[in-house]
Structure 1
Amino acid sequence: MFSRTLFCVAIATSSSSVFADTVWMKNGDRLTGTIKVFDGGKLMIDTPYGGSIPIDWKQVKTLESDNELLVKQDAYTGEKAKSIKPAEDGKVILANGEAPQTVELASIQQIIKPKPVIEDLVWKGNIDTALDYQRAETDTDDYNVAFKTTARHGKWRHIGSGEYNRESQEDVVTTDNWAAEYSLDRFLTDKWYWQGRIDYKRDKIEDLSRQRVVGTGPGYQFWDDELGAFSLGGLLNRSDYEYSNGGKDSFYSLAMKWDYNRYLIGRTVELFSSGELGRPLNNVADYSLDAELGLRYKVTEWASLNVKAEKDLISGTDDSDLDKTRYTIGFGVAW
C-alpha cells in the first residue's frame, strides 16, 4: 500500500512537471513555471516558488511550452504555435501541425497568449477608488474614482482614461468634476509613434467650468515591458475654455506629455506618473499643468492599495487662475 502511494505521488509529480513550461539558461540554470509573456527584452515566467520572475532574453539558451502561444518575429505579424520545443543553443522549435519550424531566439520580438478575435491584442488597465466618510463635528463625504486602460494590436495603440471627484461638507458640495480622455497612437517604428487625442473636463464648482482639448503630435516609447513603460510625446493642441460667468477662451498651445510606470520588489509595488505640461501660443495663459504621481501596492494578483497626488494648475488666465492639489488613498483593481 505504501509503495503504491509513492508510485502515485511520483506519477503526479512527473505529470505536473510535464505540463510546466521550462526555460534553460545559458549559465546552466533551469526554471519551471508558466510563461506569461515575452516583450521588451524580458521573459516573464510565473513560478510556484518565486512568483513572477523577469528573465533577460539574452540569457535564455532555449525553452519549452505545451501551451498555445503567439510568437512574433517582427512587430506586427506572428505565428500561432501549438507548442514550443527546445532546440540547440539559441534556438527553439515552433510546433504547429506537420511542419515544425526552428527559429533563432534573437529573431523573436514577442511571445503572448493569442486572443480569440485579435490574436496579438495586449490589453491592460486599472481602476482606483478612494472613499472617505467622516461623521464628526463637520460631516464630510469624499469620492474619487479613476480608470485607465490601454489596448495595443499591431501598429495601433488605444488609450482611454477618466476620473470623477466629488466632495461635500455638511451637505454643501465643494468639489464636483469629471474628466475623460481618448488617445490613438500609430507606431511608425518600434519606438516612434504619432498620436491623436481628445480630452474633455467638466467642473460644476470652479470658475473654469469646461475644458475641451484636441491635439496631435509625435511621441517616443522608451520602453514597454512587463516591468513598466515610459513614453514622452509632444503635442500641438487646440483648447477651448468656458467659464461659469459665460466667458470663453480658444487658443493653440504646445505641450509635453509623459506616461511612466515601473514595478518594484518583484512586481509588488508600482510607481506611476503621468501628466501634461502646456504653453499657450498666445497670451490667454502663462502655462498649464495636469499631473499625477502615486504608488500601488499589490495585495493579490488583481487587487491593490494606492496612494497618489494630483495637481491641476492653469496660471495667468484672464478670468481666474486654477490651482488644485488633491491627495487620495484607496483601493483598486488591475488587469
Structure 2
Amino acid sequence: MHALNSRFYTACSTLVCALLLSGTAAAVDRIELRDGSIVMGTFQDADGGKVKIETAYAGTLEIDQSAIVAMTVESDLVLQMEDGSVLEIPGLEVADEQLTLEQQANKNYALAELTRINPEPWELGDGYNFGGLASFGYDSQSGNTETDELTYRFETRWESLVDRYRAEAYGEINEANGIKNAENWTARGRYDRIQTGDWYWGGGVSAEQDLFADLDLRTSIGPYIGRKFFTDPVFALEAETGLAYITEDFISDEDREYLGSTWDVRMQSNYLG
C-alpha cells in the first residue's frame, strides 16, 4: 500500500510539474508604464499613438504610447517608423523608451519614432483603404393624415497614402394623403491629392435636384484646398474651400450659370461606437 501511494504521488507530482512548465512556456507580452504599473497580456496592435493589449482580467486595454517606458512582445512584428523605414523583427524589446533592434546595430530608434506596428498594406503604400455606409428608411403612418416617407443615403471612401476618392448620394421622397410634398436628391464625387502634413487639394463634381424648389438640375465642378485639423477617431474634423462653375436648370424660372465659391466642413466621431 505504501509503495502504491508513493508511485501515485510521484505521478501526480510529475503531472503538476508538466502543467506548470507548459504554463510558463506560453508567451506573455509585458508593458511597463511611467507610473510603475505593469500590464501583462497579448499584444494586439499599435497605431495612432495607441498600443492595444488583450488582458485576461480587463479585456482589451488601449494605452498611450507616450506613457510606456518598457515593453516586451514575443511574436513576430512589422514596424513602421517616422522616417519611412519598415522593419521585420522576431519580437520587440523596449527599454528606457528606446527600441532594442539587434539587426539594426547602426541605427537606434526611440519609442516615439514608432508610427505603427503590423501596418495594413495600404499604410505601406500598397493599395487603398476602403470604407463606407449605406442606409435606407421608410415610414408609413395612417390616421387623419396618411403619410409615407422614404429616405436613403450612400457614402464610400477609398484612401491611400497619396490620394483619396470620395462619393456620396442621398435623397428623400415624401407624400401626404397621396400628394407628393418632397422629392429631392444630391450626388457628389471628389478626388483629393494628399500633400505633406495635413493639407490636401482636389477637385469635385456634384449634381442635385429638388422638384419642390423648382430646381430641375444644379451641377457644379471645380477645385478646392482642404486641411485636416483633427484625425483621431474620437473626433475628426476637416474643412475645404474653393471655386466652382455652377449651372442651374429650373422648371419655371430662367436657367443660369455662374462662378461661385464653395466650402465644406466634415466632423465625425466614434465616441459612442
In the TM superposition, what is the alpha-carbon distance from 1:243 to its structure 2 partner?
1.0
Contact 2:125-2:161 at 8 Å conserved across structures: no
Q: Secondary structure at the match of 2:213?
A: coil
Q: Secondary structure at the match of 1:137?
A: coil
Q: Structure 1's 35 and 2: CA in aligned 2 closer, same or farther, altered over 3 A?
A: same
Please give the alpha-carbon distance, in whole angstroms, between the structure 2 residues aligned to 1:114 and 1:85.
Answer: 19
Alignment-derived partner of residue 103 in structure 1 = 109
Alignment-derived partner of residue 86 in structure 1 = 93
Q: What TM-score does the superposition give when structure 1 sets the normalisation length?
A: 0.62
In the TM superposition, what is the alpha-carbon distance from 1:224 to its structure 2 partner?
0.9
1:57 aligns with 2:65: yes
> Which of 220, 236, 244 in structure 2 is aligned with 1:237?
244
Alignment-derived partner of residue 24 in structure 1 = 32
Q: Secondary structure at the match of 1:247?
A: coil
Contact 1:44-1:52 at 8 Å conserved across structures: no
Please give the alpha-carbon distance, in whole angstroms, between the structure 2 residues aligned to 1:67 and 1:202.
Answer: 54
User: Deviations 1:123-164 (Å, cap 9, x if unpaired)?
Assistant: 333334433222333222222222333332212222222213
Tell me, which stretches of 5 or more residues in structure 2 are unaligned?
1-10
- Higher RCO, 1 vs 2 (CA within 8 Å, ≥6 residues apart): 1
Aligned residues: 257
Normalized per residue, the structure richer in helix is: 2
Please give the alpha-carbon distance, in whole angstroms, between the structure 2 residues aligned to 1:204 and 1:10.
Answer: 75
1:107 partner letter: E
1:193 aligns with 2:200: yes
Q: Secondary structure at the match of 2:96?
A: coil
Contact 1:84-1:92 at 8 Å conserved across structures: no
Contact 2:51-2:64 at 8 Å conserved across structures: no
Q: Secondary structure at the match of 1:58?
A: helix
Alignment-derived partner of residue 158 in structure 1 = 165
Q: Computing the radius of gyration over CA atoms, which structure comes out larger, 1 or 2?
A: 2
Tell me, which stretches of 5 or more residues in structure 1 are unaligned?
270-297, 299-335
Q: Secondary structure at the match of 1:87?
A: strand
State the percentage of identical aligned residues: 17
Q: Structure 1's 46 and 57: CA in aligned 2 closer, same or farther, altered over 3 A?
A: closer
Contact 1:83-1:94 at 8 Å conserved across structures: no
Q: Structure 1's 111 and 128: CA in aligned 2 closer, same or farther, altered over 3 A?
A: farther
Q: What TM-score does the superposition give when structure 2 sets the normalisation length?
A: 0.74
Please give the alpha-carbon distance, in whole angstroms, between the structure 1 residues aligned to 2:187 and 2:16.
Answer: 60
Q: Secondary structure at the match of 2:121?
A: coil
In terms of mean alpha carbon deviation, does 214-223 or 4-13 score higher? 4-13
Q: Structure 1's 99 and 203: CA in aligned 2 closer, same or farther, altered over 3 A?
A: same
Q: Secondary structure at the match of 1:238?
A: strand
Alignment-derived partner of residue 249 in structure 1 = 256
